Chain A
Amino acid sequence: MSTVLNAKVPAGALRDKWDNYKADAKLVNPNNKRKFKVIVVGTGLAGASAAATLAELGYQVDAFTFHDSARRAHSIAAQGGINAAKNYQGDGDSINRLFVDTIKGGDFRSRESNVHRLAQVSVDIIDQMVAQGVPFAREYGGMLDNRSFGGAQVSRTFYARGQTGQQLLLGAYQQLSRQIGLGGVRLFNRTELVDIVVIDGRCGGIVVRDLLTGEITSHAAHAVVMATGGYGNVYFLSTNAMNCNVTAAWRAHRRGAMFANPSFTQIHPTCIPQSDESQSKLTLMSESLRNDGRVWVPKNADDSRPAGQIPENERDYYLERLYPSYGNLAARDVSSRAAKRLVDKGHGVGPLKNGVNLDFSAAIARLGRKVVEERYGNLFQMYERIAGEDPYSTPMRIYPATHYTMGGLWVDYELGTTIPGLYAAGEANFSDHGANRLGASALMQGLADGYFVLPYTISNGLAPLLNKPVPSTDHPAFVQAETEARERFGAYLDIKGTRSPDWFHRELGKIIWDYCGMERTQQGLEKALSELPALYAEFKKDLRVTGSGENVNQTLEKAGRVDDFFQLGMLMCRDALDRQESCGAHFRSEYQTDDGEALRDDENFCHVSAYDWTGDPMAAELVKEPLVYETAHLATRSYK
């Protein structure tokens, strides 16, 4: 592999780069498009929008999802909203401001050109989704309503109650369904990617496993898009859906796609705290709640009175105190660490003293219960279901939890990975959020990639391949990948040890959370790197998978995913150890300012850390892509 990364950033001023790219990009004649086969893996916002749009253009598209239906992808769980620089509120928003906010929110660890393009196409996304019938919230006059989110001083977030992700995904799913009905897309549901195949230095297709029959088959294509989401479930407990996993991205990494910034994982400040040991996942409460909720803890540590009995002067509204200009809307990483510190000092609330209050009493007094109900009704109901408490009368209890992964497959400006012909979109790539993602930006990025970026860049990549057939699935590379996959799944069944995949997953998650979570130290990371290989060896020796490989076997599926999480976990800890600075969500205790804020080291770490597979995640080769800021000014991020 080459060790120089070429990001293929087009020439010209930042604001002209995307126009220049499109002006120079090669096109495929409408009659020739049907000669090309494109595979899209994943049907979330990025995957469904890419598959639908590519099919509309005329490409033959095969889409794959491990869900029973494309509509189940985890994009559906996003609650709060989607950002766009529409400036409909006339409050000073612009493409440039969205760009700067995103770069700053990411703590200057993302690539300027990609982020600027994201801000540019954000406005098209809202137009497109409205045309498709997404029922965004409206003012009485019929115009679109907005609200604000963390890390921004304008209201640029479009929303559909607390179910924005659901409504956007249904929009993309409907568009995909239309193409399935028309024959433009063939959908393979309940089918999981188990390998990708590289032939003559180019991605030739994928190998998949039918989750109903266990059958392993090959699919060839001219180009493959990975829109397979993030890897937050490496922590075991996260807000991700149970089936979210890193396998597709990891298998691509093992075949030569570099993996960038693996340690950049976001901890979301507002989730429902863990209630007991048997808990299988954590539930997010949308950040939008921080528009009207006030975060506080008792001033006296170990104050165990119910919230209502603690008088005003004994409450510490710490976000308002520490960050007066952003207050309760300070960026996610900043808010999360503030909560962790207070809970660590004994100021936590709730039976396990593991949360902070998010209090709506002031908002209810100011706006009335009806308005609050209209804005957040379904979130309040969800909280009530899970916690068994009524948030209209007592404050919600919240605590940070793993939510989103900024790291992912390294991609260039065209969203191409280091394997030609293999693209990555949405959360699966590393591109736009640097070391920390702002709220309401994940939906924006997924749809930007799928609707407005990939269709151009894939055409540019396909044009030179005109009249070249896809590789045969009898090619030795396919045959070998199939054999390896069969052997891998067979091996899990053959270990016949004593521990379930979930048991190992839980143990793995504890190590990663303790040492590579909200705060990291050299000592902790070194400890993790000594414990992980030992636990992984145990996994290979003592795993127990019951049932067979010839029909539905969720235990077997889980085994494959946990295997890949182990390898990823090692790479995460290595990356976190190597990055001797604090930036965004990556907080190394050794590198902080006197008042406990992240201390960046731009001289030594203003780069993307990409890793090349060498056969052992503990020995991956680090390749750096330097980050150059021509427009945004490298500055210390402050929400004070």
Chain B
Amino acid sequence: MKQLTDLKLKVWRQAGPEVDGYFESHTVDKVSDEASFLEMLDQLNERLIGEGKEAVVFDHDCREGICGTCSLMINGQAHGPQRATTTCQLHMRTFKSGDEIVIEPWRAAAFPIIKDLMVDRSSFDRIVEAGGFITAPTGGAPDANLILVPKPVADAAMDSAACIGCGACVAACPNGAASLFTGAKISHLNVLPQGQSERYKRAEAMVHAMDDQFGSCTNHGECSAACPKEISLDVIALMNSDFRKSKSKNRKALSRG
């Protein structure tokens, strides 16, 4: 175990949604290289409380990369420098003594800042509420093995379903678009046999809910590069294809997929 010293943090502080924010500088010493990035922030907060100051607010929960709650821009990169890694799984061994680390909240119009590094991502929930589900009320389901799902299809659905809804894709996108998130949810459900009945209605409703809140996609690909779960850009192609079909008047063709 080694210790890092003289880490120069520039942390975004903002008292509330309606007030201006600013960068606050702190130097942090004696950080174990085994510590996670958030444990380094815990250490800073303990010190701030000790000094009678308010702790830096940031969202976090599971600290094992699955809940999608943590959300920091670290040196301009969503979730920091390590590929396929959430902020909570980023460890201080990635940094070295004397490093300057700039910590900001997600930057996107659709994710307004609540306080300091905490943002409001409920716009994602609105997209799911619009159609990100299979209508299957409790009680009427047939035996699970009656619906055969070929392994490659189940695997493809799972690849998309691995999305943790953290919002890094939106934060990384120069347009603040949510195509990767929306495409992932649509692809998860639209490739499965169970998802076919509502396939085009789902794509249409979710894309509209997305467009109401987020910027437009111009295929930069920053989203996929920032995604801690490495969701592929392919999901956007599938979303666009299904959205286009949903607009077709030819319902007979629609019924054939």
Residues on A facing B (Cβ under 8 Å) = 49, 52-53, 56, 67-72, 74, 76-77, 86, 88, 124, 126-133, 135-144, 160-161, 163, 165-167, 170, 173-175, 177-178, 180-181, 189, 212, 241-243, 275-281, 283-284, 351, 381-382, 385-386, 388, 451-452, 455, 498, 500, 502-503, 544-547, 551-555
Contact B64 A283 (CB under 8 A): yes
Contact B133 A177 (CB under 8 A): yes
Instruction: Type the 1/0 row for B117-138, where 1 means its CB is closer than 8 Å to any CB of A.
Output: 0101110110011111111111
| Apart from the given pairs A88-B145, A547-B54, 7 other A-B contacts in the complex at a CB distance below 8 Å | A124-B141, A131-B141, A135-B158, A136-B144, A243-B61, A385-B91, A555-B49
Q: Which residues of A contact B188 (CB under 8 A)?
A: 133, 135
Contact B62 A130 (CB under 8 A): no
Q: Which residues of A contact B10 (CB under 8 A)?
A: none
- Tell me, in angstroms, the Cα distance from A283 to B86 when the chains sit together: 14
Q: Which among B35, B154, B188 has the greatest number of chain A C-beta atoms within 10 A? A: B154
A-B contact count (CB 8 A): 226
Contact B15 A551 (CB under 8 A): yes
Contact A127 B142 (CB under 8 A): yes
Residues on B facing A (Cβ under 8 Å) = 1, 15-16, 31-32, 34-36, 38-39, 42-43, 45-46, 48-50, 52-55, 57, 59-69, 84-85, 89, 91, 93, 114-115, 118, 120-122, 124-125, 128-145, 147-151, 154-155, 157-158, 161-162, 164-165, 188-189, 192, 194-195
Given A161-B158, A181-B130, A552-B114, CB of A280 within 8 Å of CB of B63? yes
Contact A502 B46 (CB under 8 A): yes
Q: Which residues of B contact A551 (CB under 8 A)?
A: 15-16, 115
Q: Which among A74, A143, A382 has the greatest number of chain B C-beta atoms within 10 A? A: A143
- Tell me, in angstroms, the Cα distance from A547 to B132 when the chains sit together: 39
Q: Which residues of B contact A161 (CB under 8 A)?
A: 158, 162
Given A69-B124, A133-B194, CB of A128 within 8 Å of CB of B63? no
- Tell me, in angstroms, the Cα distance from A447 to B183 when the chains sit together: 28
Residue of A nearest to B49 (CB): A500
Contact B150 A177 (CB under 8 A): no
Contact B52 A546 (CB under 8 A): yes
Contact B138 A56 (CB under 8 A): yes
Contact B161 A135 (CB under 8 A): yes
Q: Which of A72, A124, A163, A498 is close to B69, meaning CB atoms less than 8 Å apart?
A: A72
Residue of A nearest to B64 (CB): A283
Contact B150 A281 (CB under 8 A): no
Contact B165 A178 (CB under 8 A): no
Q: Which of A53, A138, A174, A500 is close to B154, meaning CB atoms less than 8 Å apart?
A: A138
Residue of B nearest to A501 (CB): B49
Q: Which of B55, B63, B65, B155 is close to A242, meaning CB atoms less than 8 Å apart?
A: B63
Residue of A nearest to B154 (CB): A138
Contact A242 B132 (CB under 8 A): no
Query: Closest approach, in angstroms, between the C-beta of A85 and any C-beta of chain B?
Result: 13
Q: Which of B16, B64, B150, B194 is close to A131, meaning CB atoms less than 8 Å apart?
A: B194
Q: Which residues of B contact A385 (CB under 8 A)?
A: 65, 85, 89, 91
Contact B114 A212 (CB under 8 A): yes
10 tightest A-B contacts by CB? A142-B148, A174-B133, A181-B129, A131-B141, A127-B141, A131-B136, A135-B157, A275-B34, A135-B158, A130-B144
Given A126-B144, A133-B192, A552-B114, CB of A177 within 8 Å of CB of B125? yes
- Tell me, in angstroms, the Cα distance from A552 to B117 when the chains sit together: 11
- Tell me, in angstroms, the Cα distance from A579 to B158 when the chains sit together: 45
Q: Which residues of A contact B131 (CB under 8 A)?
A: 181
Q: Which residues of A contact B121 (CB under 8 A)?
A: 68-69
- Tell me, in angstroms, the Cα distance from A2 to B219 when the chains sit together: 66
Query: Closest approach, in angstroms, between the C-beta of B156 and any C-beta of chain A?
Result: 9
Given A127-B143, A276-B1, CB of A133 within 8 Å of CB of B61? no
Contact A189 B134 (CB under 8 A): no
Contact A178 B135 (CB under 8 A): yes
Q: Which of A76, A132, A544 is close to B49, meaning CB atoms less than 8 Å apart?
A: A544
Q: Which among A163, A177, A275, A278 has the greatest number of chain B C-beta atoms within 10 A? A: A278
Residue of A nearest to B56 (CB): A554
